[in-house]
Amino acid sequence: MFRTLASQLTLAISALFIIAAFVLFQWYLHSSEKFADEVEQVLHRDLAAHIVHDNPQLESGIIDTESLVSAFHTKMLLGPEWEFYALDTKGKVLAYSAPEGAVKLNSVDLKPIDDYLNGSHFPVYGDDPRALGSQKIFSVTPIISAASSQIQGYLYVIIGGQKRDSATALLTGSKVIKDSAFILGMAILFGIIAMLLVVIIITKPLKKLSQRTLEYVKNDFANLDTTSNSWLKSKEIQDLELSFISSAQHINKQLNQIKNTEQLRRELLSHISHDFKTPMTGLNGYLETWLITPEEQRKPELVHLAYQNSLQINQLVDQLFELARLESGDIQFIPEPVNVVELAYDVMQRLRFQAEQQQVQLRVIAETEHGIVAYADISKLERVLVNLIDNAIRHTQASGMVKIEINDYQDKVAMSIIDNGRGIHQNELEAIFEPKYQASNSQANIANAGLGLSIVKRLLDIHKSVIRVTSQPGKGSRFTFELAKAAL
């Protein structure tokens, strides 16, 4: 019953409201009572002094108990709520206006009397001789002997005695009290109902947001409703809704990325299985042919062809492991000053045999032969150049040329790998760096897994460099990237 936020808030606030109303009501009654006592005590401040002044015996300092009883009875006719007591200097009750046996205390504490006479702030409460442990407001004055000017005792007048208490008790069940209690109860009920409506209005957007969240989850994080009627919502709820929409959009984007990655992974596995199958089939076929051929008729070309297929498989495995490490970030990056001119000549020398077989010329073009120093990881930069030049050689016809052009700028070093080969169509330039992408200029007889350019892009990403491609079919391609220049 109280599981919803609205019901829990209503219950908690209602309980606090009722407790607060009860405490405030009790405080109001207590304050009102003290205020009434203060007013009445101020009004009767000189009551005891007037009574002493009107009584010749008391005025002379004589305390005659028998005559005082009669005098007290007469005074009570004028003020039924007053109770009169004659005390000695130690507070002992000598005479009183109450019926015989009604007085329960034989003496009164003198400290409140001293406070009263010394001008303490009203109300001052003193002992009520007719009720044990009870204290009431009073008026008091000393009874001084006219002969010796010594205090003989005190006239102690209780203001609002038991007759007043009895009258107050009778009035507690009056219509006024009942009407006041009824009005107070209705006010509390109205406050609770109004508070319930306010809580429902405030929490309604939260309930709708919760429903939208559940619907979004049930729809597999799709079909997100971003509309918002916010004129009744508080800023906190609006911020919560915007946070939910932002989080949902981020989740949706990540899910799409995961789906795309999963699709690419499946396609990559499909292509890889095909790439492995071709050289494996050739390797097995050449070895099987070599085994079934009589020993005297076995040709070394079969073993050489099998070896070439095994090299292709080994190259494919190396590229896959390298790409996996790059994508997972499990690779160290150790930049240092690198002479890129010397590195370019080393790479050209390494690939010269492959270029001669393809009848392709290699050339390095630099502003200075002494060297241009860039800030890079030398092993990874070498891998970038090898992949790009190898790719250029494979796509350049006989008598073609592949060049490395190096330009030294103020704070950058630009490197370009240029060929005059087959070129790439414009609509394929953005896709050539994807794993396993085969451009339309690829030849079926070229053994290539399509991972080299993808590795290049990721290695340059580590260097915080972007590779750019310009190409025209039949005229060649130009791959350019920049590196930070090393400070010498």
Question: Using one digit for the tens of pLDDT, what is the confidence trace for 44-66?
Answer: 888 888 888 888 888 888 887 77
My answer on whether 471 and 352 are in the same domain is yes
Where a domain ends, among 138, 171, 204? Answer: 171
> CB of 427 within 8 A of CB of 387?
no
The answer as to whether 129 is a domain residue is yes
Please report the sign of the dihedral spanned by the C-alpha atoms of residue 219, residue 225, residue 231, residue 234. positive
- At residue 444, the pLDDT reads 43
Contacts with 254 (C-beta within 8 Å, 6 or more apart), sequence order: none
Whether the predicted model's global pTM rises above the 0.75 cut:
no
d(CA 87, CA 85): 6
My answer on whether 267 and 356 are in the same domain is no
Model confidence over 51-109: pLDDT tens digits?
A: 888 888 888 888 877 777 666 766 665 556 788 898 999 999 888 877 777 888 889 99
Q: What CATH number is attached to the domain comprising 296? A: 1.10.287.130
My answer on whether 249 and 107 are in the same domain is no
My answer on whether 421 and 383 are in the same domain is yes
Q: Which residue has the tokens 């109004």?
A: 194
Where a domain ends, among 310, 326, 342? Answer: 326
d(CA 443, CA 435): 17
Measure Cα distances from 18 to 224, 337, 460 in Å: 43, 78, 71
- At residue 279, the pLDDT reads 67
Contacts with 299 (C-beta within 8 Å, 6 or more apart), sequence order: 290, 293
Percent of the chain having pLDDT more than 70?
80
d(CA 418, CA 365): 11
The answer as to whether 221 is a domain residue is no
Q: Are strands 361-366 and 401-408 parallel, antiparallel or unpaired?
A: parallel
d(CA 341, CA 381): 12
Model confidence over 302-329: pLDDT tens digits?
A: 777 777 777 767 766 766 666 666 666 6
The answer as to whether 150 is a domain residue is yes
- Domain extent at residue 441: 332-484
Report the side by side order of strands in the sheet with 125-127: 93-96, 82-87, 151-159, 135-144, 125-127
My answer on whether 435 and 391 are in the same domain is yes
- Residue 459, pLDDT > 90, answer no
Overall domain count for the chain: 3
Model confidence over 378-431: pLDDT tens digits?
A: 988 988 998 899 889 989 999 999 999 999 988 899 999 999 998 888 888 877
Percent of the chain having pLDDT more than 90?
21
My answer on whether 315 and 351 are in the same domain is no
d(CA 133, CA 135): 7
Mean pLDDT of the chain: 80
Where a domain ends, among 137, 171, 205? Answer: 171
- At residue 299, the pLDDT reads 76
Listed ranges 21-25, 102-106, 170-174; the one with the highest mean pLDDT: 102-106
Q: What CATH number is attached to the domain comprising 362? A: 3.30.565.10
The answer as to whether 440 is a domain residue is yes
Residue 354 burial by CB count (10 A; 0-12/13-18/19+): exposed, middle or buried?
A: middle
Q: Which residue has the tokens 């990721």?
A: 458
My answer on whether 134 and 70 are in the same domain is yes
Q: Are strands 401-408 and 412-419 parallel, antiparallel or unpaired?
A: antiparallel
The answer as to whether 448 is a domain residue is yes
My answer on whether 375 and 412 are in the same domain is yes
Model confidence over 270-283: pLDDT tens digits?
A: 656 655 665 677 77
- Nearest Cα residue to 58 out of 132, 145, 136, 120: 145
- At residue 165, the pLDDT reads 58
My answer on whether 343 and 466 are in the same domain is yes
My answer on whether 320 and 369 are in the same domain is no
